[in-house]
């Protein structure tokens, strides 16, 4: 299947007072057309920076980002600006990303105005169309963000992201600021418009349960690195990396009387300024061996569409 996005050996470093912070540390991934790749990991693992780096909202330090086969890191600012029509983002906190002084119709119309499309596309009609697409009633057209509940505000954020008819959207924790009861509505909306418009998503979340519902494949990140990638089904039925297993063990089973054996990780997540040598997970892994602390394990493919970086897996493969 054609890859809409391909990321090769992407790095993003930040210079901090404490030293060089490797927020994204040599990650590679692809997303096929119409697919959702979930990116999951604890706060501070680099997943949001990855989402921003592939859109060049933060400039990658090294690596390659190909969008529909075209290397976007070489694009000049004006070319990149045009490319952004196809590549959009939905932010975590809809209220923070919406200007409280302008009405929601103006917020949705803003991208059209930036690209001088408002008049050309019959601005008011297009805004009404977008509001309808995301399930916002016409009567809300002149309301302001603070007058809406969290779910409706996020619908405004989605409508705005759709205004320029993008092909690819980074959904950065789009439901984590919402009440649980509203989360399902927004997830359903995102899936519905994906099918209707043929969109491709990178879906970023700290919540493996949320990621499971929307993703075709899942990449698990820890301290700036991807440690495992596989199908959404496999990540739940056949996780291979000890960190994935620990994340999974924290999810309650909905069936009464059934319990998962919770794997409690010792210690805190190490600082990305001073990550452990060898395997990135070695400081907290219950199965750590001497060689894990010396050299990074290779990324191996124990089954088609399943990649893992762990000696337990590579040793078994021989």
Contacts with ligand SF4, residue ranges (CB under 6 A)? 242, 279, 281-282, 285, 287-289, 292, 297, 310-312
Which CB, 234 or 282, lies closer to ligand SF4? Answer: 282
- Quote the least distance from Cβ 297 to ligand SF4, whole Å: 4
Which CB, 11 or 245, lies closer to ligand SF4? Answer: 245
Spatial distance between the Cα atoms of 22 and 24, rounded to a whole number of angstroms: 6
Chain length of the chain? 318
Tokens of 110: 């803003």
Which CB, 141 or 312, lies closer to ligand SF4? Answer: 312
- Quote the least distance from Cβ 302 to ligand SF4, whole Å: 13
Which CB, 168 or 311, lies closer to ligand SF4? Answer: 311
Spatial distance between the Cα atoms of 291 and 138, rounded to a whole number of angstroms: 62
**Sheet harboring 299-303: ordered strands across?**
87-90, 168-172, 200-205, 36-40, 217-222, 225-231, 306-309, 299-303
Which CB, 208 or 285, lies closer to ligand SF4? Answer: 285
- Nearest alpha-carbon partner for 129 in 84, 159, 152, 99: 159
- Quote the least distance from Cβ 310 to ligand SF4, whole Å: 3
Which CB, 124 or 301, lies closer to ligand SF4? Answer: 301
- Quote the least distance from Cβ 261 to ligand SF4, whole Å: 18
HSE (side-chain half, CA atoms, 13 Å) at 169: 25
316 to 124, 238, 290, 305: CA distances (angstroms): 61, 15, 17, 18
Which CB, 13 or 296, lies closer to ligand SF4? Answer: 296
Spatial distance between the Cα atoms of 187 and 237, rounded to a whole number of angstroms: 22
Tokens of 6: 């391909």
- Quote the least distance from Cβ 113 to ligand SF4, whole Å: 50
Tokens of 24: 């994204």
- Quote the least distance from Cβ 183 to ligand SF4, whole Å: 31
- Quote the least distance from Cβ 43 to ligand SF4, whole Å: 20
The answer to whether 175 and 190 are in contact (CB under 8 A) is no
């Amino acid at each position: 299947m054609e890859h809409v996005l391909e990321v090769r050996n992407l790095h993003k470093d930040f210079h901090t007072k404490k030293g060089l912070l490797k927020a994204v540390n040599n990650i590679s991934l692809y997303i096929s057309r119409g697919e959702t790749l979930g990116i999951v990991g604890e706060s501070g693992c680099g997943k949001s920076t990855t989402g921003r780096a592939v859109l060049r909202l933060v400039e990658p330090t090294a690596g390659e980002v190909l969008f529909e086969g075209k290397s976007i890191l070489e694009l000049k600012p004006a070319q990149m600006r045009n490319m952004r029509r196809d590549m959009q983002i939905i932010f975590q906190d809809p209220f923070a990303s919406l200007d409280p002084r302008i009405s929601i119709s103006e917020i949705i119309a803003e991208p059209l105005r930036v690209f001088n499309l408002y008049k050309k596309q019959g601005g008011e009609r297009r805004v009404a169309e977008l509001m309808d697409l995301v399930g916002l009633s016409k009567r809300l057209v002149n309301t302001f963000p603070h007058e809406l509940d969290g779910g409706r505000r996020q619908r405004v954020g989605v409508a705005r992201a759709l205004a320029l008819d993008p092909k690819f959207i980074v959904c950065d924790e789009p439901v984590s600021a919402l009440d649980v009861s509203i989360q399902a509505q927004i997830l359903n909306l995102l899936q519905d418009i994906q099918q209707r418009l043929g969109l491709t998503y990178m879906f970023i979340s700290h919540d493996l349960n949320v990621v499971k519902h929307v993703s075709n494949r899942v990449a698990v990140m820890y301290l700036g690195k991807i440690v495992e990638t596989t199908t959404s089904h496999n990540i739940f039925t056949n996780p291979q990396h000890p960190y994935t297993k620990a994340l999974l063990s924290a999810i309650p089973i909905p069936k009464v009387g059934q319990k998962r054996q919770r794997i409690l990780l010792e210690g805190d997540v190490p600082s990305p300024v001073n990550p452990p040598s060898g395997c990135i997970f070695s400081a907290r892994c219950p199965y750590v061996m001497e060689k894990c602390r010396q050299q990074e394990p290779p990324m191996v493919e124990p089954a088609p569409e399943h990649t893992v970086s762990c000696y337990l897996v590579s040793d078994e493969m021989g």
